[in-house]
Amino acid sequence: MNSKQRLLFSITMTTIMASVMSWLGMAKSTGINLAFWRAYATSILPTLAFAIMWNVLVASNVAKLMIKLGTRKLTDEAEIITRSGTIRSWTMISVMCFTMSTLALVVNGELFAMTPVTFILAFFGDFTMAFFVRGMFVMPLVKRMVLGTPKTVQIISEEEAEENVEAAAE
Residue 104: per-residue pLDDT: 87
Give 8's pLDDT tier (boundaries 50, 70, 90).
confident
Residue type, 154: Q
Inform me whether the pLDDT recorded for 155 exceeds 80: no
The reported pLDDT for the residue numbered 137 is 92
State how far Cα 152 lies from the chain centre.
25
Model pTM? Answer: 0.76
Between 167 and 108, name the one with better pLDDT.
108
pLDDT one-digit tens code per residue, 94-130: 999 999 999 888 988 888 999 999 999 999 999 999 9
pLDDT above 90 covers a percentage of the chain that reads 58
Kindly report the average pLDDT of the chain as a whole number: 86
Tell me the mean pLDDT in the region 18-39. Answer: 91
**37-90 pLDDT, tens digit each:** 999 999 999 999 999 999 999 999 999 999 999 999 888 888 988 999 899 999
SS (H, E, C) 39-81: HHHHHHHHHHHHHHHHHHHHHHHHHHHHHHHHHCCCCCHHHHH
Contacts of 43 (CB under 8 A, 6+ apart): 22, 26, 107
CB 127 within 8 A of CB 93: yes
